[in-house]
Amino acid sequence: MTNNRVTLTRNLSVGSIVLMVVAAAAPLTCVIGIIPVMLLLSGNVAVPVYFIIAGLILLLFSVGYTRMSRFVDDAGGFFSYIRAGLGSVAGGSASTLAIGAYGLTLIALFAYAGAFAAQLVGSVSGWTDSPWWLWAVLAAAVVAVLGYRNIDLSAKALGILLLAETLLVVVLDVAIIGRGPGEGYSLDSLSPATAATGAPGLGLLFAFLCFLGFEATTVFRAEAKDPERTIPRATLVAVGSIGIFYAATAFLLVSALGPDAVAAATADPTGVITGLAAQYLGPVFGDVLQVLVLTSLLAAAISFHNVVNRYQVSMSAAGLIPAWFGRIHTTHRSPANASIAVSGIVIAVLVVTAALGLDPISQIYAPLSGCLGLAALILMCATSIAVIVYFRVHQRRAPLWATVIAPVIALLGLGAIVVLAFTNLDLLSGSPASSIFLIALLVVLAAIGGGAEALKNRRSRTVVVH
């Protein structure tokens, strides 16, 4: 049962929100899947440097982003801030682009999880021809139930899953420190000079992709205990912890791989880290690692599902979509209708893609996740501009550092990554033709969203500012 006048529960702490957004970054999947790709594509061992640079850019972005959260009392994330700073049409476009990108990412995650689960089931039980879409739909159903219920349940599930995957990576890190890398620690991996060799742009681009999801802290504003303090702290903690975790882990993994780290990643990008885990922790841990990759994908899906639900609530309140999507469950105090809607669409798309015979990795996961990366970059650039414009127009009493200097530097850094994303679209998505089509589709939908809000003659509620 849902009711328009029921509000979301305000009980999320800094820790709960950090769990939600760090899970979206899928740390174990990044460690196993992205770090080898960074070695391969950049052609150098300076992976930790790329994580540090990406983290610093996003910390600068977070300065203005979280400062604006004190004045925009809405849980629409990018949508709310762009709308407040650049107007209703730009805000409407941002909302459609964001919800489209996050929705496609959900489909991508379930497709990847389904393919991985089918492979895992085959190796364990002998059922080698189990359909990937079956496991994908089951995973989507589990996430649907969690999204329908109170967000505390999702936070607890994420806490367990995130703890398990993070703990295993930490155990591997400790094992490398305990036994020591065979060739000693790689100081070259910390050298800016090394980072400038090869293809540094690609290393930085993929480092940025490992942070995606942190920006969703503001989406949970309506459920935070003390949003004016909780959201800024959660954002900074999320970015800082992700950056430190990835940089430290990358340093140890590169050191363990030795001078031939790039060659090892090039020869076996999908199995090099699993092999390292088996070497340092034993073959059993290699098997456990594979199971936890699946739970890592599930945790990321839970997080993105909750983000999409809350975007629907904000869009509904703004009049961009029917009010039904924003109704809150009277018992669970959750966006239950939004959860039903997104789950139904995702499951339907998974069934259709399976019927079409699409490959879950190369034809679904790769292009759709590439779309998220590009869309998030564009939205962050627009948000940085919105922060600058908002504080100049409204002349809020805020430090120049938080409202101009940091956003401008972040905009320059993010803009450079956008250029890299466009010029390396094939590497970002793995399927350039599909990605170009999907990105064009997202842009069209975003334009329709912005135009729809304008045509409604500002029917959306006014953004509440202090």
Contact 250, 44 (CB under 8 A): no
Question: What tokens appear for 273 in the block?
Answer: 């880290």
Nearest to 58 by CA among 306, 241, 305, 203: 241
Dihedral angle computed from the Cα positions of residues 19, 25, 31 and 37, in that order, rounded to the nearest 10 degrees: -170
Continuous H helices in 46-131: 47-68, 78-86, 88-125
Q: Identify the band that residue 224 occupies on the pLDDT scale cut at 50, 70 and 90.
A: low
Is the model's pLDDT at 461 over the cut of 50? no
Contact in structure between 219 and 213 (CB atoms under 8 Å) = no
The CATH code of the domain at 2-35+51-187+196-258+273-455 is 1.20.1740.10
N-term to C-term CA, the chain: 33
Residue 420 has pLDDT above 70, yes or no: yes
Q: What are phi and psi of 329, to 5 degrees?
A: -65, 135
As a whole number, the mean pLDDT across the chain is 81
Is the pTM higher than 0.85?
no
Contact 250, 35 (CB under 8 A): yes
pLDDT of residue 261: 92
Q: Provide the pLDDT for residue 266.
A: 87
The candidate with the shortest Cα–Cα distance to 253, out of 274, 270, 238, is: 274
Flag whether pLDDT at 166 surpasses 50.
Answer: yes
- Report the pLDDT value the prediction gives residue 154, as an integer from 0 to 100: 60
Lowest mean pLDDT among 136-145, 205-214, 426-435: 426-435
d(CA 343, CA 350): 11
Please give the C-alpha separations between residue 135 and each of 17, 138, 260, in angstroms, as whole numbers. 28, 5, 37
Query: What are 231-287's pLDDT values in tens digits?
Result: 778 888 888 988 999 999 999 999 999 989 999 988 887 678 888 888 898 888 877
What residues pair up with 465 in beta bridges, in sequence order?
A: 72
Residue with tokens 């189990």: 130
pLDDT tens per residue, range 46-66: 999 999 999 999 999 999 988
- pLDDT bin (cut points 50, 70, 90) of residue 457 is very low
Q: How are beta strands 328-329 and 2-3 bridged, if at all? A: antiparallel
The residue ranking higher by pLDDT, 340 or 367, is: 340
In 3-state terms, the chain is what percent helix, strand and coil (to 5)? 80, 0, 20
Is residue 464 predicted with pLDDT exceeding 50? no
**What percent of the chain stands above pLDDT 70?**
79
Give the other-Cβ count within 10 Å of 226's Cβ. Answer: 11
